[in-house]
Amino acid sequence: MTSRRNPTRIPLPACWSHHTTSAMLHVISLAQFALNHARGWAVNSPIARVRLKVENDRLEQNIALMNEEIRIKDARMERIDSHRRPHYAPTERMAILELRAARAWSARQTADVFQVTAATLASWMKRLDEHGPDELVQIREPVNKFPDFVRYAVQRLKTLCPRLGKVKVAEILCRAGLHLGSTTVGRILREPPAPTKRPASVAIGRVVTAKRPNHVWHIDLTAVPTGGGFWTPRLPFALPQSWPFCWWLVVIIDHYSRRAMGIAAFSKPPTSSTIRTFIGRIINESSVAPTYLICDKGRQFWCDVFKRWCRGKSIRVRFGAVGKHGSIAVVERFIRTVKDEATRRILVSYRKEAFCKELTSYLAWYNEYRPHTTLDGKTPNEAYFRLRPNNRRPRIEPRERWPRRAPCAEPATLIAGQPGDRFTLDVNFQDGRRHLPIVSLKRAA
């Protein structure tokens, strides 16, 4: 008969329960650090199955994290009494019914997901084919009131491209032929007022004003994390900023036209020699060198070798003031735009070829299709090549009783066709990237 042995008991440290919550955050952060390191190794494996496994694992993790975000938000909404929850707008109700049809959900499934009752959904379905004051989307008759299909087009564009603000939506539709004011778009989207702009900083010292394309270029560096962020709770894991934890980007932008002249990705902070090679390649591709090059005082630029190289190219270097906000604001704003509209909208790849392909798609879309507020709605290519902007072409007027000579949203243009023309919203995407929309309006037959 075997003897029963008492298991060895390991005593826990005193007050261990006081540190479990912070320890959990440290464990999760370090696990993410280890995952990035392992994925960076596996993505370059010669075995295709291993590479596919890495991409599949990243997608599964991203879906799990998004589901957790939705669960947390739904739990907060469920704690509010059903009679006190905010109501869905008419366009949102239509979007819910469209999603139900696409997912083939029952009324109970749809009600559970969007936290409404099945009776409410049944009421919405009945109101789809009704007309008059009880229809799902009511139509008013003032002369300056846009038809509801305009409202629906704006709402759908915001749904397809959620990162676009009201000014950018207005500029994109203006280029497509529909002139709407930014305030009108804001009312349609039911967004809060735009934040007050910060006063412009007073320039100190010599000021360089761009007078033509290729007169003034800006250059700067930035780091783009592959795992979503750089936060980690302790050293030495907070120190490395190189691949596979991030990519280093170098961008060059033309001040006059805001055109992105070039962008390159590196696995570690580039050296001055690498920067000079990159600038030389952009000059060869553009067949012209800038008169001025504005940069910060990073070690890649603030050195005698770089200054001599620029003098040899007849380029005058201007350095931004250390600690002064706005001294290199143009390129910093472009970097923020790249991150908001590109790198934070995708899963940043560990493979350099795939990441460079994403950057190339974004630059082509940015220069050709993205209107710029500073350029009065022009795209960078239109300003750089001095082309006629699309927002100056004859426009569509969907209001039937709108007088032909009445002013419209800026810029004021003539009406193409007749007032009251209907149209369809056609949204394509640059290289199939859902975050890079190409919007056009087609007149309905």
Q: Which domains does the chain have, with CATH numbers?
A: 216-375 (3.30.420.10)
Is the pTM value of this prediction over 0.85? no
The predicted structure's pLDDT at residue 131: 59
The angle at the Cα of 25, spanning 14 to 222, to the nearest 5 degrees, equals 145
Express the helix, strand and coil content of the chain in percent, nearest 5 each.
45, 10, 45
The predicted structure's pLDDT at residue 86: 83
Sign of CA dihedral 352, 353, 358, 361: positive
Does residue 91 contact residue 152 with C-beta atoms inside 8 Å? yes
330 pLDDT higher than 70:
yes
pLDDT tens-digit series, residues 215-233: 999 999 999 998 777 777 6
The rounded mean pLDDT for the chain is 83
The predicted structure's pLDDT at residue 383: 94
Sign of CA dihedral 262, 267, 268, 274: negative
Sheet strand arrangement including 316-319: 260-266, 246-254, 216-225, 292-295, 316-319
The predicted structure's pLDDT at residue 406: 83
pLDDT tens-digit series, residues 364-373: 999 999 999 8
The Cα 245–Cα 229 span in angstroms is 9
pLDDT band at 32 (very low <50, low <70, confident <90, very high): confident
The predicted structure's pLDDT at residue 107: 84
List the one residue out of 68, 120, 134, 66 whose CA is nearest residue 92: 120
pLDDT band at 1 (very low <50, low <70, confident <90, very high): very low
> Which residue, chain included where needed, has tokens 């290199």?
328
The Cα 146–Cα 184 span in angstroms is 9
The Cα 211–Cα 192 span in angstroms is 36
Helix (H) or strand (E) holding 295, with range, is strand 292-295
208: left (phi over 0), alpha (psi -120 to 50) or beta: beta
pLDDT tens-digit series, residues 222-280: 999 987 777 776 666 666 788 888 999 999 999 999 999 999 999 999 999 999 999 99
Q: Which whole number is the average pLDDT over 406-415?
A: 85
Helix (H, G, I), strand (E, B) or coil at 253: strand
Q: Which whole number is the average pLDDT over 416-433?
A: 89
